[in-house]
Every structure is written in structure tokens, then in C-alpha cells.
Amino acid sequence: MPESNHQEEAADFVRWMFAQLGLDLEEADGVCRHRLEESKRASFGGNAELRIAFQDLAVDGQAEPIDFENGACCWLLKQLRSIKPAVHVRPRRQPTAVNDISSRLFSAYRVEGGRVHLGGCQLADFPFLRMSFSTQDHGKPTVRHLFVAHDGTSVSDSQAQELGLLDVEPITTSPPRIDDTTLNALIASGRFIAAKSSSSRDPAASTVDPLLITLLWVKHASGQLHFTVGDTTVALPFSGWAKSIEAQPFVAKQSGASTFHLAATDDGRIDAFDEIATCEQSGQRVLKQDLVTCCVTGKQVLEEFTEPCPVSGKPALTEQFVECAVCREQVSKSVLEDKVCGACRQMGKIAKDDPRLVWILGEHLGLDRWKRWRLAETQNVYITQADGIMKRLLAVVDKETLAVNFLATSSKLASGWTPVEGPAQADLLQ
């Protein structure tokens, strides 16, 4: 006998057999009765009625016990076994219409300023097998069911519950078609699973033949959800057993975020609601990942409205740049202190053989006359300063071209710098 957690009282199985055959039955005092058609009475000694006792106490001269080997129950089984290719049932509670699926899926999503709709949905019936075995549970006649999936694998207890395989109803009109090869392959898999399950406890056990093999048609749904905002639509495929299908999160293409709450940017990209924010400069709704923080104002803005500050390397809104009073470079306000940028405030002493200085002096030979150098770097320039006996020199040199952006001198006692331009500059540099 195969191991299985799915069993029902034999009486319930008998009730199902009557229903499956479309036969009426009446129950009273633990006895079920069915009035036989005249043509069938001969099989039962001319009796006009089948009487099966659903309770032990009800067995008497007129009501027979449940016995799948003899009498009424055996006759019912034979009728069912003679149905070709097999008896068809389906889970009583499973969605049968596309609407049932879509309404369940739709409710999981929220689309700001847009909607979710179906981009297509197919419902298909997949053949499962129910193999029913007669057994006893604490002395009570019981029917144990073993389920086999459409691909010939065994069905776990939880999946049988999930798909509603334990509560089935007859398919009376136009059942799905199945070809003999598929059916026979399924039955062969079922017998193999039953044999393996029987021998796991007792290797010597021989497999009992099932009372009945029933085809159980389980609905599978597949399709696409469409999310539309304005002119943009994105799709999310779904696929699963109709009864247990659950909405999956939408994975946004740009941000990679998984979400059930969607929205669109002003330029028509659909993404997770939480990944969209307003540019504080332009008011546009954009992806958060396209925003940068202005290091001066702290505003979240599109990168296109900013420039990197050459001193801090951080983006700042273009209108937040001013000229440093010393190096005359455009720097963000965030690095200024008393009108002097962070680089100019922190010039460090360097040796004459510092490669950067060697490079600058190689290009501008006249500077080699100066001693006691200090240097600071921004992303764009070297800011160098040298001390003479009476004067100081300041040279701001482009890092790439070594062109002098600014040259100035000052007397050692003065605090400001006097620009040196034109021929005077040439004199100093050559």
C-alpha cells in the first residue's frame, strides 16, 4: 500500500462514485439507497434498490457493508472503470475564467496615474492522476489517494492542498482530450511512484492495484500583465497554476527595483514609485538614480544642472560657483572660506624635485629662479606658490596643458596678489 497523507472515509468515496456516475442517492439512518433502473436489476438478484450501509451498525439483511470486491460498490467501480479513456474530474475550487485570474492579479498592483490590464491570458488544462487505493484506518474502511503530476512526478502534500486536489467534482460535459500515449505514460509513472512508496517501509511488500485511476484536470494560467501610464506600457509575464497563482513584483528595467507600486517619470519611463523623485531645480519627475545632491544647497537635482567642483569633486548647481580670490578658479561656494578656496588654504610645502614641480619648471623655465615652493591640486589645476627674498609668486597651471591660467606676485608684507599679464608674464616665465 503506497504511503500517502491523503485519504477519505470509504463512504465519501462511494458518495463521489454515485455523483460521478450521475446516479441519485438517498441517505437515511446510515444507509444509502439508490433506485436501480429496470435493466440493471438482474445483476442484483432482481432487487429494485441498492442499499449500502455507511455505518457498521446499519448492516443488516437488506443493507450490505462497503465492499469494493463484491456487490454494489464493486458494481459502481466497474461502471467507472469502463469509462474510456478514464473518469474525468477537476478541483471543485479553481478559477475557470480569465477574469478570476486577472482580478486576483490586478489587485496586487498600484499604478500612479495609470492602470494595469491584461496583455493576454491563456488557461490550459493539465492532466494529473488520482490513484485511489482501498485500505483500513483504525478498522474503518478508507480510501487513500496518491496524486501524480502532469509531468509524471509525485505531488507533494502541500501542492495537493494548494491545488485543491482533495475536493473534486465530475467533468460531465466535453472533458479535455488526452491521447493514449500520454495517458499510459502517466499511469506508468503513477504505478512506479506507488510501488516506490509502498516498498519504502517494507521492501518485500507487493504493490496493491488501485481501485480506480481518475484523470484530474488542473488549470494552468499564463499570460502577461500590462502596466500603462500615458503612452508607455511595460509588460510582466505570469505563469502558474490557476488556483495558486500569485502576483509577482514588477522588476523595473532602469532602477532594477522590485515593486507592486509603479509610476512613470515625466519622460515616460515606468519604474518603481519609490525610485522616482522630483528634480528640485526643474520640477521634473525623474529617476532618483539620475539625481545628484548639490554640495552647496543640498538640493536633489538632475546632474545636467550641475558641474563638479574642482576642489571637492562634488557636484554643485552651476549658479553656485564663484571665483576664488587667490587662484581665480571657479569653485563651488561650499569650499570657500573668506573668499579663498580649500585648495589655496591648504598648500603644502614640496621639494624642488617633486615630479609635478619638475614638470611645471620644465615647461616654464623662468620659474626655476624661485625657491621654497608650495603646491595644491584641484581636479583641473596645480596651484603653486614660491617665496623669494622680497616677493612671493603665485602660478596656477592647467594640469593637462601646463598653460598658466593665472600668474601673480605680491610683496611679502601684502595680503593680496597683483596679477602679472602680457609681456611681464612672459618675462617671469622665460
* Between 221 and 324, CB nearer to Zn ion: 324
Shortest CB 342 distance to Zn ion, Å: 8
Q: Tell me how far apart the alpha carbons of residues 427 and 395 are, in angstroms, rounded to a whole number.
A: 14
Stretch that binds Zn ion, among 3-11, 120-128, 181-189, 339-347 (CB under 5 A): 339-347
* Between 198 and 385, CB nearer to Zn ion: 385
Interactions with Zn ion, residue window 37-56 (CB under 5 A): none
* Between 17 and 420, CB nearer to Zn ion: 420
* Between 1 and 326, CB nearer to Zn ion: 326
Stretch that binds Zn ion, among 17-25, 26-34, 139-147, 336-344 (CB under 5 A): 336-344
The answer to the question of residue 327 lying near Zn ion (CB under 5 A) is: yes
Shortest CB 378 distance to Zn ion, Å: 8
Question: Binder to Zn ion among 326, 335, 420, 428 (CB under 5 A)?
Answer: 326
Shortest CB 344 distance to Zn ion, Å: 3
Q: How many other C-beta atoms can be found within 10 angstroms of the C-beta atom of residue 45?
A: 6
Count of residues of this chain found to bind Zn ion when the rule CB under 5 A is applied = 5
Stretch that binds Zn ion, among 122-130, 226-234, 323-331, 384-392 (CB under 5 A): 323-331
Question: Binder to Zn ion among 291, 324, 336, 395 (CB under 5 A)?
Answer: 324
Q: Which amino acid is at 4?
A: S
Please report how many Cα atoms fall inside a 13 Å half-sphere around the Cα of residue 175, on the Cβ side: 22
Site string for Zn ion, 68-97 (x = CB under 5 A): ------------------------------
The answer to the question of residue 341 lying near Zn ion (CB under 5 A) is: yes
What CA–CA distances, in Å, run from 394 to 218, 309, 355, 401, 411? Answer: 84, 21, 18, 18, 11
The answer to the question of residue 344 lying near Zn ion (CB under 5 A) is: yes
The answer to the question of residue 335 lying near Zn ion (CB under 5 A) is: no
* Between 313 and 362, CB nearer to Zn ion: 313
Shortest CB 366 distance to Zn ion, Å: 23
* Between 296 and 327, CB nearer to Zn ion: 327
* Between 77 and 341, CB nearer to Zn ion: 341
Q: For residue 320, what are the contacts with CB-CB under 8 A and spacing of at least 6?
A: 294, 296, 297, 332, 333, 334
Q: Tell me how far apart the alpha carbons of residues 107 and 271 are, in angstroms, rounded to a whole number.
A: 18
State the first-to-last Cα distance of the chain, in angstroms, to the nearest integer: 105
Q: Tell me how far apart the alpha carbons of residues 161 and 6 are, in angstroms, rounded to a whole number.
A: 10
Shortest CB 261 distance to Zn ion, Å: 47
Q: Interface residues with Zn ion (CB under 5 A)?
A: 324, 326-327, 341, 344
